[in-house]
Every structure is written in C-alpha cells, then in structure tokens.
C-alpha cells in the first residue's frame, strides 16, 4: 500500500498564500523544484526567493515573490487556460485548479455573479499565482498525499480591499471557511486572506486536531508583519499517516457530489447527458426516481467527481439538461486499495480487479471473450477469477 504523507497546517496566526508556501519550504520542500514548475507556467516578470526571519522568537521562512507587472485583474477562465496549458505535474495542476475554482465560486457568491464572470483582483495578480501554484508544487516536492488543517485564526475590524473598506474577516474568507473550525483573535489585522482560505478550503480533508501520524518534518512560514504578542507565522507538520488498526488497506479523499432534480427531460436526453458527464471526468453518475411537487414523477441526477472537475461537469449538466439549479456538497470517500491482474484464456485477455475482500473479472471483457469463444459468461468469469486468485497465492 502507498504511504499516506500528511501535511497538517496549524494557522494559529492565520494563513495566507505566501505563509503557506514559506511553511512548506521551511519544512524541506525543494525551492529549485518549485521554481522549475513555476517556470513552466510560461509567465514573465516574476521572481521567488526565501529569507530566514524572526517572528516573536520563532525562526521562520518568508517566501518573497517579486513581480514586474502592473496590477492585473485576471478572470477565472484566464487562469484556467494558464494552468491547463502548462507542462506541470498533474497533481499540482489539479490542486491549483481546485484552489482557484474555490476562489471564483466564493467571489461569485459574495458579489452575486456567476463564477465565470468573476474578475480576480488581488488573487488574480501574478504574485498570487506564484503563491498558489508554488504551494502546490511544494506539496508535490514533499510527496504530500493528504492535506489537513487545524483551527484557523481570523482577526477583527475592517480592511481595505479592491472594493473599498470591508469587514474583517472578508466576506470571501467567511464563504470559503464555511464548516471549518476558526478562532477569533482580537487583532485588527487580516490574519487569514482569501488566498490562504482557498488553499485549505480546496485541499484540506479535515478541520481539527492533527491526524495520527509519525512526524517527519515541520516548518514555519512567516507573514510580512511582526505582531507584539503573537508569532505571525503559519505552522505545517509533515508526517506519515498511522495505519488504521495496523493493517488497513483503505484510503480516503474528499470528493464533490453534484445533484439536481429533473422533471421535464426524457430518458433519451438523460442517457445522453449521463454519457457526456462520464466522458467529462465524472467518477460516477447515477439516476434516482423521485416524486416532486404536485406528485409529478421525476429523477435526481447525481454526479461524483474530483473537486477540480466539478465546475466543468456542472456546466455540462446545465447545458444538456436545462436544469435551473445544482446542489453541490463535499463527500468523504473511503476506498480499498485494488490492483488489476490480466489473465489469458484461450488467447483472450481479461482484466481481473482484486481487492482485500473481492476478486471480480471485468464484465465487458468477459462478455466479449465469451462470445468469441462460444462459452458461458458466468463460467468464463469464474475461470478468470480463479486464475487470478491462483497467481496471488
């Protein structure tokens, strides 16, 4: 079973993009690795370096991003194109897209506009792109498979943003941290920024105490300011997850579930939509018969997807069903480790899926081979599964 490498962020003084990146570099992420990935974004006029600073007695790493562009307002679609066309590791791309999607949706919700029409202000600037993609690259450098977060500190008072004076914490931060544990701190300072909130909102699998793990490293990322009685840093702790009951082959992840109720679309169009959703990256698509208002028969169309694919799948759902609303929720999926064993029977290759509790031949391949060989699909499947079991013995 692949080791689960955890990064647990402890935002006891809040969290921002540069603090996240600094903490991971302080914990041992390779700066050159991060810079090489950032170079593949094909963006000009930026630089990244680190400096060691003191924050109330704690030695911390400050990620210093320098940029040479005028303040730039990029749209969510612009950032999607930059990331999707970049030659960067897939997990870095998925994580970065998920973070920016969370930002787009929160800004859209706050301002009452669709996510596609959101023009990022501070977070669309080049330094925010470097902070976010750099943090994802640093996670990759440390081989982190899971992100978790402790209670997140937020300040009070007001702050000045692109739209003028707004409450602290900003509305986008509140939207992003819905259902996350937070701690109010009596400081009239923006402790947690939208960028920092989006990173944990999009990536964190849990909000609370540090998961059980063997600690392998830690780091502190420094904010720009010094506070009189508080270290302005974000802590990260890296470790290897403790196995469940000593022998679990389960792994877990946070996924997105999209659902919509449909009462005016025929079966042919629903079947077409389900096919296109699967082709669009949905992990699973299913239909549930329901009774709606006025006792009308209808269906609930449900989609299980990676967080980074949810936005695109919602667009497909709107386009192909005409639905006026989609519900989105996060779900916690636990899966068993599995492997595929290929077996050969009379010249026909069949994949057999093997997990701790089950051995099952792939039905479509069994059906095709059975027709070619003139055999019973049930007998052929049993034969393939027995061969796979013998190979494992």
Per-residue model confidence (pLDDT) at position 120: 64
Using the 3D structure, point to which of 291, 319, 336 is the last residue of a domain: 336
- Comparing CA positions, the residue from 59, 66, 64 lying closest to residue 27 is 59
Q: Where are the beta strands (DSSP E) in 229-370?
A: 233-241, 250-262, 284-291, 297-305, 327-336, 338-345, 348-355, 359-361
- 83 and 223 both lie in a single domain: yes
Q: Determine the pLDDT at residue 196.
A: 96
Residue 331 sits in the same domain as residue 350 = no
Residue 42 and residue 17 share a domain: yes
147 membership: H or E segment, kind and range:
strand 146-149
Q: What is the mean pLDDT of each run of 10 residues along the chain (393 residues)?
A: 85 96 98 97 92 95 85 76 92 92 82 64 70 97 94 91 81 89 91 95 90 95 91 97 58 80 92 94 94 90 86 90 88 78 92 87 92 92 91 79
* 246, 271, 295 - which closes a domain: 246
DSSP annotation of 103: H
Cis peptide before 169 (omega within 30 of 0): yes
Tell me, yes or no, whether 217 and 269 share the same domain. Answer: no
Q: Is the domain of 303 the same as that of 178?
A: no
User: Is the same domain home to 261 and 349?
Assistant: no
DSSP class of residue 218 equals E
Rounded to whole angstroms, the Cα distance separating 279 from 293 reads 32
Residues in the chain: 393
Rounded CA separation 10/143 (Å): 19
Integer CA distances (angstroms), 272 to 136, 277, 286, 342, in order: 36, 9, 13, 31
What is the number of domains present in the chain?
Answer: 3
Domain of residue 272, CATH code? 3.30.70.1380
Say if CB 134 and CB 92 are below 8 A apart: no
Q: Within this chain, do residues 320 and 371 fall inside the same structural domain, yes or no?
A: no
Domain identity same for 259 and 387: no
Residue 131 structure tokens:
């902070």
The continuous run of DSSP H or E covering 158 comes out as strand 158-161
Give the domain range for residue 365: 338-392
Residues 242 and 257 in one domain: no
- Of 314, 336, 358, the residue at which a domain comes to its end is 336
Alpha-carbon span 39 to 43, nearest angstrom: 7
Question: Do residue 28 and residue 77 come from a single domain?
Answer: yes
* Separation between Cα atoms, residue 219 and residue 237, nearest integer Å: 7
Per-residue b/e over 261-272, b at no fewer than 16 CB within 10 Å?
bbeebeeeebee
- Please, how many CA atoms are within 13 Å of residue 217, restricted to the half-sphere of its CB? 17
Nearest of 247, 243, 314, 325 to residue 282 by alpha carbon: 314
Residue 119: per-residue pLDDT: 61
Same-domain status, 124 and 159: yes
Residues 177, 315: one domain? no
Dist. CA 117–CA 291, nearest whole Å: 35
Q: Which residues contact 364 (CB under 8 A, 6 or more apart)?
A: none
Q: What sign results for the dihedral spanned by CA atoms 45, 49, 55, 60?
A: positive
Yes or no: say if 152 and 177 are a contact pair by the CB < 8 Å rule.
Answer: yes
| Whole-angstrom distance, CA of residue 186 vs CA of residue 196 | 19
Residue 246 is predicted with a pLDDT of 43
| Tokens representing residue 176 in the block | 């992003």
Q: Is 219 helix (H, G, I), strand (E, B) or coil?
A: strand
- pLDDT at residue number 245: 41
Structure tokens at 252: 């877990």
């Amino acid at each position: 079973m692949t080791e689960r490498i955890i990064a647990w962020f402890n935002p006891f003084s809040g969290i921002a993009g540069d603090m996240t990146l600094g903490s991971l570099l302080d914990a041992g992420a390779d700066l050159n690795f991060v810079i090489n990935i950032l170079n593949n974004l094909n963006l000009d006029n930026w630089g990244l370096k680190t400096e060691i600073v003191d924050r109330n007695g704690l030695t911390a790493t400050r990620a210093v991003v320098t940029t040479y562009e005028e303040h730039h307002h990029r749209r969510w679609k612009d950032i999607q194109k930059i990331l999707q066309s970049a030659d960067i590791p897939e997990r870095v791309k998925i994580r970065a897209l998920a973070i920016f999607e969370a930002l787009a949706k929160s800004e859209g919700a706050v301002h009452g506009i669709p996510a596609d029409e959101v023009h990022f202000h501070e977070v669309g600037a080049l330094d925010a792109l470097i902070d976010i993609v750099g943090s994802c690259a640093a996670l990759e450098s440390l081989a982190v498979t899971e992100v978790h977060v402790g209670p997140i500190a937020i300040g009070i008072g007001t702050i000045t943003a692109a739209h003028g004076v707004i409450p602290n914490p900003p509305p986008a931060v509140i939207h992003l941290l819905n259902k996350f544990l937070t701690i109010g701190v009596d400081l009239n300072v923006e402790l947690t920024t939208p960028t920092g909130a989006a990173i944990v909102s999009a990536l964190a699998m849990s909000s609370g105490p540090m998961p059980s793990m063997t600690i392998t490293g830690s780091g502190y990322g420094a904010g720009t300011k010094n506070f009189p009685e508080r270290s302005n840093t974000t802590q990260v702790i890296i470790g290897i997850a403790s196995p469940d009951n000593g022998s679990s082959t389960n792994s877990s992840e946070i996924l997105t579930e999209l659902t919509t109720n449909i009462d005016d679309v025929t079966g042919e169009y629903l079947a077409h939509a389900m096919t296109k959703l699967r082709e669009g990256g949905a992990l699973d698509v299913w239909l549930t018969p329901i009774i709606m208002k006025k006792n009308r028969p209808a269906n609930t169309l449900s989609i299980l997807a990676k967080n980074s694919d949810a936005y695109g799948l919602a667009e497909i759902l709107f386009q192909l069903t005409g639905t006026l609303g989609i519900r989105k929720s996060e779900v916690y999926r636990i899966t068993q480790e599995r492997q595929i064993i290929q077996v050969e029977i009379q010249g026909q290759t069949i994949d057999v899926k093997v997990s701790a509790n089950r051995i099952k031949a792939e039905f479509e391949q069994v059906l095709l081979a059975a027709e070619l060989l003139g055999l019973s699909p049930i007998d052929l499947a049993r034969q393939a599964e027995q061969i796979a079991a013998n190979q494992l013995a």
